[in-house]
Structure 1
């Protein structure tokens, strides 16, 4: 009966403690509502990029962090026995650390949005921006990993058992590091390759590459792999070490400007100067030409045909592709319309004429 009375006597303290916790939670929610109400008002009035980014990324994390912070401030008012109070304190402390870790990671997203708002990747001359974004993406992932590592470590180290285990592990850190080094050799190699790519930058975000016979743009660079967005919307995923150990083509290493070629096979009777003039007329009327290069040369004289090479320039790889297609189509149409005899022809000797002498004939083959 005495123990029952003691047990029932604790109920007021339990309800009072629950009221303190709920009060702290409500105070935090109200504070979160007021803070983000002000930020939303700023975003609506000034269309500020930072305000929209804060609302988008930090709203959920703050909805947990501020109530937990308010509860931690009100914990001294909780009237509980030592053991239940310690359990409550530990739980609030761990939840607060995890919420703070989440908020720090989301803060990195806000900083990334601010940089992307300041420097536009879609600008025509974006070499410096691509350099910055490549380093920013890698550094962001590295810092986020460190934040998670430290946050989880702080939670675990709040337990006495884990602290004792950590002390024991430190005494054997030398042997463990050797074992882990052998086991994770390739992973560590990829991590070091990531550092090398981020700061020496053989590739960058939005670079145009030709890798394994595929043309595409660098979409993402992680700690271990690179995602290449292929022109037909496929994705090619390659390990970081690939770009350190194997050759590949980078069409935007120093500039996005590029030259394109168009080859035509024609008959020996083709009027080269007329084709050259037509090429100039075509590119001058095409919006993809950047007015740098427009030349036509006879690059080969084969057994049956002449090879004409048209060299044109454009601001980027996509523009030069469109320009090459337009030049090829319009030059072929020009030859068909103005000089059909200059298309590739196959000549043959026809025997068996009435006089018994050989006669020459020619068969025209469109190419």
Structure 2
């Protein structure tokens, strides 16, 4: 009877004590979170209550297991299992605590600074720091778990003796992975590209959605995801539209006839922009940038506060200008010279005759009046 009651008391007491301590700790964190609304630290620490309870329970069971005298045949295996659970839950708890501290630091920084570009840079650095911390804690936890096995402890001396050769072999084999990891750190702390930046990569326009130590994800305008190694951004040129200030200047081109009313087009461009909420009012303009035997190239430019708004401005003025020319000045649209087309007001293809007669059309034959 004693052999049955003692294990039940020890195990049940450890579980009950773990639940009670965990509940008390959680209530204390809730009260601290209510008293200190200016910081999210206490609320974030509550995310670690499960690994915290696992640490408590496994530690108490591991410490009192020898007194239970239960399953003595498997005592070594059970004790090692409890040790492994203790190491794993402790690593999990450390990662949660580190995450809460880093997230609290970023929140405080975000409240003190309103610059979106700087916040995106810090957010990128914070996310990569958390990944590095998680990787280091995970490696240390796995190493500690392996050291609990006698075979690994006995092989420690030989492993250390061959560590140099293994390091060289691993470095050669993982050259690509290591280059991506160093490129990820270079991106994070070199401020080359940040989460939320608008970039153009291989002709694809999109927004940086995720940055890890080895790869980067770009979300395109049509909801596709482009995943590429981070080493791409340290070895090849790319466009970062969010670098510096997000303000941008957009350009729209038209090919129009030589008789197009440029001054009227400038006035209409101004009117279109005033009616477009995406235009930030900084600048606009319309100029002739090139000519051909049949048309001339007209360039309009306008400004906006970011890449999304500049796209809206460009499509708006392109569409409205074409519609206005088609309705009010159809002669200004490109046409084939041999085709009959309406002439602009107060203009003719030839010189007016002295008696006021209309000029001859270009396709009339010299003997048409005979």
Q: TM-score, normalised by structure 1?
A: 0.84
Quick check: 1:261–1:310 contact (8 Å CA) kept in 2?
yes
Q: What is the deviation of 1:272? A: 1.1
- Matched residue, 1:345: 335
The answer to whether structure 1 residue 203 and structure 2 residue 215 are counterparts is no
Aligned match for 1:114, one of 101, 104, 116: 104
Structure 1 partner of 2:348: none
Please show how residues 277-292 of structure 1 align to structure 2 within 5 Å: 277-292=267-282
Cα–Cα, structure 1 residues 298 and 125, in superposed 2: closer, same or farther, change >3 Å?
farther
In the alignment, which residue of structure 1 is the partner of 2:315?
325
Take 1:276 and 1:354, find their aligned partners in 2: how far apart are those partners? 41
Choose which of 57, 60, 64 in structure 1 pairs with 2:50: 60
Contact 1:290–1:313 (CA<8 Å) still a contact in 2?
Answer: yes
Whether the 8 Å CA contact 1:50–1:114 is kept in 2: the answer is yes
Q: Distance in 1 between matches of 2:316 and 2:35?
A: 48
Q: Residues 154-303 of structure 1 correspond to what in structure 2 (within 5 A)?
A: 154-303=144-293
Q: Which residue of 2 aligns with 1:138?
A: 128
The secondary structure found in structure 2 opposite 1:100 is helix
Q: How far apart, CA to CA, are the structure 1 residues paired with 2:31 and 2:314?
A: 51
Deviation per CA, 1:133-165: give whole Å up to 9, x if none.
121121111110000011111122122221111
Q: Give the C-alpha shift of residue 98 in structure 1.
A: 0.7
In structure 2, runs of 5+ residues without a counterpart are 340-361
Aligned length: 345
Picking from 5, 25, 36, the partner of 1:15 is 5
Q: Which moved more, 1:214-223 or 1:107-116?
A: 107-116
User: Aligned partners of 1:189 and 1:181: how far apart in 2?
Assistant: 10
Kept after mapping to 1: 8 A contact 2:303/2:310 = yes
* Residues in 2 aligned to 1:125 and 1:259: alpha-carbon distance in whole angstroms: 20
Distance 2:364 2:63 in 1: 112
User: Deviation at 1:85?
Assistant: 5.8
CA RMSD of aligned residues (A): 2.8
- 1:79-131 residue CA offsets vs partner (Å, 9 max, x unmatched): 6799866555433332111111111222343345435544569x984111111
Deviates more, 1:104-113 or 1:303-312: 104-113
**Given the two structures, how large is their TM-score scaled by the length of structure 2?**
0.83
Moved more, 65-74 or 284-293: 65-74
Moved more, 295-304 or 45-54: 45-54
Secondary structure of 1:345's match? coil
Unaligned runs of 5+ in 1: 1-10, 358-367
Tell me what 1:313 maps to: 303
Q: CA offset at residue 167 of structure 1?
A: 2.0
Aligned residue for 2:250, secondary structure, equals strand
Give distance in 1, aligned partners of 2:17 and 2:267: 78
Residues 333 and 131 of structure 1, relative CA distance in 2, 3 Å threshold: same
Whether the 8 Å CA contact 1:29–1:66 is kept in 2: the answer is no
Q: Distance in 1 between matches of 2:73 and 2:22?
A: 31
**How much has 1:228 moved relative to structure 2?**
0.9
Whether contact under 8 Å (2:106, 2:122) holds in the other structure is no
In structure 2, distance between residues paired with 1:188 and 1:333? 56
Q: Deviations over 1:289-334 (max 9, x none)?
A: 1222211111111221121111111111111101111111121222
Structure 1 contact 216–229 (Cα < 8 Å) conserved:
yes
Task: Tell me the SS of whatever aligns to 2:56.
Answer: helix
Name the structure 1 match of 2:117.
Answer: 127
Measure how far apart 1:16 and its partner are.
0.6
Deviates more, 1:36-45 or 1:331-340: 36-45
Cα distance change, pair 171–233 in 1 and its aligned pair in 2 (3 A)? same
Aligned to 1:360: none
